Structure 1
């Protein structure tokens, strides 16, 4: 029995250290299976409740608790596993009862010092537990500021995009707003360059701290994934509608930076994707939905070199790079239903798409856009273009 206690205790301590280091220390996008399990278990009851909410705002309020509580439960459980592991080690090394061993382990782990043994064989374990507790707590304390700093940087750019793209963000809305203000359209290349850098930062932070993927924006109509999708759609529209654009190079690089970011996050979330799909493959976005966006652009005065029919194959060739990955992520995190952003998980209901609401209605824009129902559908396999 003592040998078993020693073996089990050593295994628990070692596995807990591996999980903690992989999650908080290693800058390689590692994610322990334990933290994935904990976050999924904590999220499940909130997702269950959110799926039965009748409005998106209620669903967003319910899901907002899941990721922060997942972090808290993970941090507390690591300490609990260290307590269990060192308690079993002390029991196996000394013959103490489990109650006495756990009492001494807790005293050492949390550096309380009210229970200690004078036996030399336990001194090393007491010292090890006393060192483990403060180190583990210090790593956790350092983890939270880094996490919320990355979250703050992400949300700052998403908030800044609101004036350019509306809420929720939409690709055609970006181009429409830029063309309606004299001289503002010339700033679009700078927007794509800025979001290329933003996408690189998101790729780094959200693979090192995967819980950020599920952190929701302060406002229910804003979402980091929908904002990135809108910027990529705007870039794809520019390339498809105006092939002679003198800033096409910056637009292409910004677009590639966006779908590279999505692929890195999809890899972390274990969402499969095709790294080299056929650019002529079909996409979920229909030509009718595409035409509605073009109609809004034309009414707003956006100049185009190609007709919608001519631009559609080129737009599809770009969007096939990121559409399925973005749709799968939006479905998984229950992002705000927005135009051109795919289905959501709402059992037994239809999800009404929200067009940007912080502008006056535009005469001549098809009204169906604001009420397009999105049905729950099976996840599609991601595809990529060689454009």
Structure 2
């Protein structure tokens, strides 16, 4: 029995150490089964409640605490599991009963020192437990600044996009507003910035997957919907204006769907590695025409007709549409045009282009 207790304790302690290292220390995508289970358990009751709340703003208020709370619960789960693991090791190395073993392990793990057993056989276990508690808590404290720095970096570009695409953002609205204020030549800068943004999000959100669940400060903004809007604007630009410079636009599109694929990998979502450019997409032609009409109303120049541009646009969108729709459904992102269905039906209001108030003549 003692051998079994010792083996069980060692498995628990080593497993939790592995989870801590994968989550907080290793700077690369490395999923931890323990943290994934904790995050699902925390997320489920909030999601069930959000599914019963009418309106996007109400859902956002319910889901906003989920990601920060899961970080705290994960730390508590690690410490409780380590307490149980060390208690099993204490019981295996001595004649301590369950209560005495828990007290001994807790006293050492949290460096309280009130229950020293004065047993030579327990000293090594007590020393390990005494080092473990501060190390885990210290790593978590160091982890939070990195987590929130990545979050703030992500949200800065999302907030800047509000002026360029409204809230929630929409691909045709980006091109419409740039045409309205005669800034189409600066679209290259937008796509270049979002290429870098996609690379940064890909790195940070695969290293710290809990960031995927962190919601924007406002209910009408969402990082995924913003990325989708920029990618749609890039696809529209390529489809309607083949004579324009294309390098930065193609790079932004490529960075965007690579980012979505890497997020899908970390969440275990399957996808087609090489989709057929002529394959079907879920956005229908009528919705496409609505977006084109918004662009035309603001004077966006088009070298092609919608009929000519549609095959090219569809060929680009097939690379990222299904992943964007799936992730938007999973995180219950704010509803927006061209972003797919949500868990519950919600009204989708397209952002209106601001009135042109420049003096005439």
Match of 1:285 among 273, 283, 295: 283
CA contact (8 A) 2:55 2:346 kept: no
CA contact (8 A) 2:329 2:342 kept: yes
Correspondence for 1:309: 307
Correspondence for 1:194: 193
> What does 1:123-162 correspond to in 2, within 5 Å?
123-162=123-162
Cα distance in 2, alignment partners of residues 358 and 62 from structure 1: 30
The answer to whether structure 1 residue 233 and structure 2 residue 232 are counterparts is yes
Cα distance in 1, alignment partners of residues 44 and 354 from structure 2: 36
Cα distance in 2, alignment partners of residues 323 and 315 from structure 1: 11
Cα distance in 2, alignment partners of residues 335 and 356 from structure 1: 16
CA contact (8 A) 2:177 2:353 kept: no
CA contact (8 A) 1:170 1:356 kept: yes
Match of 2:332 among 315, 331, 334: 334
State the aligned residue count.
Answer: 356
Correspondence for 1:324: 322
> What does 1:84-99 correspond to in 2, within 5 Å?
84-99=84-99
Equivalent residue of 1:146, what SS?
helix
Cα distance in 2, alignment partners of residues 360 and 227 from structure 1: 22
Correspondence for 1:56: 56
Correspondence for 2:262: 264
Please list the CA deviations of residues 52-106 of structure 1 after superposition, one character each: whole Å capped at 9, or x if unmatched. 1111111110011111111111110100011111111111101111111111111
Please list the CA deviations of residues 344-367 of structure 1 after superposition, one character each: whole Å capped at 9, or x if unmatched. 001xxx321121258359xxxxxx
Cα distance in 1, alignment partners of residues 137 and 230 from structure 2: 40
Structure 1 segments unaligned to the other structure (5+ residues): 362-387
Equivalent residue of 1:130, what SS?
helix
Equivalent residue of 2:242, what SS?
coil
Structure 2 segments unaligned to the other structure (5+ residues): 357-361
Correspondence for 2:168: 168
Cα distance in 1, alignment partners of residues 330 and 101 from structure 2: 44
Please list the CA deviations of residues 97-120 of structure 1 after superposition, one character each: whole Å capped at 9, or x if unmatched. 111111111111111111112221
CA contact (8 A) 1:167 1:357 kept: no
Correspondence for 1:299: 297
Match of 2:350 among 339, 347, 355: 355
What's the RMSD between the two structures over aligned residues?
Answer: 1.2
> What does 1:346-385 correspond to in 2, within 5 Å?
346=344, 350-356=345-351, 359=354
CA contact (8 A) 2:8 2:85 kept: yes
Equivalent residue of 1:355, what SS?
coil
- The TM-score, its normalising length taken from structure 1, stands at 0.90
Cα distance in 2, alignment partners of residues 113 and 141 from structure 1: 23
Shift of 1:266: 0.8
Correspondence for 1:82: 82
Equivalent residue of 1:112, what SS?
coil
- The TM-score, its normalising length taken from structure 2, stands at 0.97
Cα distance in 1, alignment partners of residues 119 and 174 from structure 2: 72
The answer to whether structure 1 residue 222 and structure 2 residue 221 are counterparts is yes
Please list the CA deviations of residues 221-276 of structure 1 after superposition, one character each: whole Å capped at 9, or x if unmatched. 0000000000000000000001000x211111111111110100011111111110
Cα distance in 2, alignment partners of residues 358 and 187 from structure 1: 18
The answer to whether structure 1 residue 39 and structure 2 residue 34 are counterparts is no
Cα distance in 2, alignment partners of residues 358 and 48 from structure 1: 35
Structure with higher RCO (Cα < 8 A, 6+ apart): 2
CA contact (8 A) 1:2 1:95 kept: no
Shift of 1:135: 0.8
Shift of 1:22: 1.0
Cα distance in 2, alignment partners of residues 269 and 93 from structure 1: 40
